[in-house]
Structure 1
Amino acid sequence: MFTLSNLIVWLVIGALAGSLAGMLVTAKWEGLGRWTSLGVGLVGALIGGAIFRVFNIASGLESVSVSLRDVLAAVVGSLIFLGVLWLLRMRKEGG
């Protein structure tokens, strides 16, 4: 069951993760922009969170309320999501 505080935490983590992933991918301080970064971060948090839990990656980082594991998982998931979007775009433009 998700609470309002869970939603707020995921929005903050998603925004942070999306911003970091956007900066890594674009190599610019601005990244992808505020709303795109938030969306990418939220999707990435879901992808990364699932991967990290399924494969039990960095399980020792869960001791913090907003765990470092969740932030790391969200950034990794955001990068995976951006990679999939890039592949889909390349496929669409090439075919």
Structure 2
Amino acid sequence: MDIISLLIFLVIGALAGWLAGNIIKGRGFGVIGNIIVGVVGAVVGGFIFSLLGITTGGLIGSIIMATIGAVILLFIISLVKKKA
């Protein structure tokens, strides 16, 4: 992975994490937190989309998939926190 691809991946992660944070809890998690939530959300979203046979393309598709994955991730985390 070259440096430009890595930067794009991190920017998509940050944007997806910020969007998911705003959807779930009304605010983001800071730059590093947004990147972490977005990157993990992209993995979760990619896994779920592949199970459902959904494909996304381009920058917008990647952002949507990562955001949906991050929202699901945050929802699951909130359920686990409530039980603890």
Q: What range describes the TM-score normalised by the shorter chain of this pair?
A: 0.7 to 0.9
Once the two structures are superposed, what CA deviation does each residue of 1:52-79 show, in whole Å capped at 9, x if it has no partner?
Answer: 133222x3x41x3x2x221111000001
Contact 1:44–1:75, Cα closer than 8 Å, also in 2:
yes
Contact 2:42–2:66, Cα closer than 8 Å, also in 1:
yes
Gaps of 5+ in 1: none
Which protein is richer in helix relative to its size?
2
Larger Rg: 1
2:21 is aligned with 1:22:
yes
Contact 1:48–1:74, Cα closer than 8 Å, also in 2:
yes
Equivalent position amino acid for 2:69 in 1: G
Partner of residue 43, structure 2: 46
Percentage of matched positions with identical amino acids: 35
Aligned residue pairs total 84
User: Structure 1: how far apart are the matches of 2:30 and 2:7?
Assistant: 20
Counterpart selection for 2:79 from 75, 78, 87: 87
Gaps of 5+ in 2: none
User: Structure 2: how far apart are the matches of 1:17 and 1:53?
Assistant: 18
TM-score (norm 1): 0.75
User: Structure 2: how far apart are the matches of 1:86 and 1:48?
Assistant: 17
